[in-house]
Amino acid sequence: MSEEKIKFQHCDELVEEFEKVIANPIVSKSSVYYTGVDLGTACIVLAVLDENYRPVAGAYRYAEVVRDGMVVDYIGAIRIVRELKQEIEEKLGVELIYAASAIPPGTDALDSGAIKNVVQGAGFELTNLLDEPTAANEVLEIKNGAVVDIGGGTTGISILKDGKVIYVEDEPTGGTHFSLVISGAYGLDFKEADEFKRNDDNHGELLPVLKPVIEKVASIINKHIEGYDVEHISLVGGTCCLTGIEEIIQKQTGIHTHKPKNPIFVTPLGIALSCSQNILE
């Protein structure tokens, strides 16, 4: 088995572990717990790891407190993160203290303060704040390639060389745009379209409908990887849960495209892996 396949297998196994502890948290004594807070446009996810950085608990909630990667409902975001934090604390019987979070690449000057305040306002000590695709690579461990995080509002791209990020960028176009296309095609309101999109049973029918917007995402990727030696692309983010999206992107970019198991959980797990006990000033 190639090194690349081994790493992707490790990623899938970690996601599977996390899926299990969301339903059945591991209540065991750990000297410290590390939390990843992923404030997504469509979904907020908390991933909790133990002292050995193994998943022990998690929770998520679909919400509309973030738009195009920016916090638009500050009080609502704090409330949801606090509620998810308390939910996990009650299950584990411990207080969660340390957390890391992430922002879309290139938005640190615009929204890092808001994200920081949301995490701290929910009762955490913030220890790290990094960009989302870089966080995802904490799980993927790509040496040479691109991590593409297709979220609800934006597509974030990180290019890595020798394991180090050499380029990051973020552009509008994400799951929100997918839902708008579905809304128009099926005569549904936005919320109904969003729920229709999340149902795996509808993906085969939706893929041809969404192909133009997926190709738009592929054109964004092509624009940003031009001039770089990108060996492969890894897709993460909730929008990538759409069955078959990786095949269209691979065809449009001409680059091998990998999608991990349940890509909505890769970034929050990567955020948690970047958490420590060193409080961010």
Q: How far is residue 103 from each of residues 1, 38, 114, 169, measured CA to CA in Å?
A: 34, 8, 10, 11
Q: Is residue 281 part of a domain?
A: no
**Residue 110 to residue 130: CA distance in whole angstroms:** 14
Same domain, yes or no, for 154 and 123? no
**Residue 257 to residue 244: CA distance in whole angstroms:** 11
- Give the domain CATH number at 89: 3.30.420.40
Same domain, yes or no, for 131 and 158? no
Same domain, yes or no, for 29 and 112? yes
In terms of residue numbers, what domain contains 93?
A: 3-136+265-273
CB atoms under 10 Å from CB of 98, counted, come to 19
- Per-residue model confidence (pLDDT) at position 1: 41
**Residue 208 to residue 210: CA distance in whole angstroms:** 5
Same domain, yes or no, for 43 and 166? no
CB atoms under 10 Å from CB of 66, counted, come to 26
Q: One digit per residue, pLDDT tens: the chain, 281 residues? A: 455 555 678 899 999 999 999 999 999 889 999 999 998 878 899 999 999 999 999 999 988 887 766 777 889 989 999 999 999 999 999 999 999 999 877 665 555 688 889 999 999 999 999 888 889 999 999 888 999 999 888 888 999 999 888 998 888 888 999 999 999 999 999 999 999 999 999 999 999 999 999 999 999 999 999 999 898 999 999 899 999 999 999 999 999 999 998 999 999 999 999 999 999 87
Question: Mapping DSSP to helix (H, G, I), strand (E, B) and coil, where does residue 28 land?
Answer: coil
CB atoms under 10 Å from CB of 121, counted, come to 15
Same domain, yes or no, for 132 and 150? no
Q: What is the pTM of this model?
A: 0.90
Element (H, E) at 85: helix 74-92
Q: How many domains does the chain have?
A: 2
DSSP state of 110: H
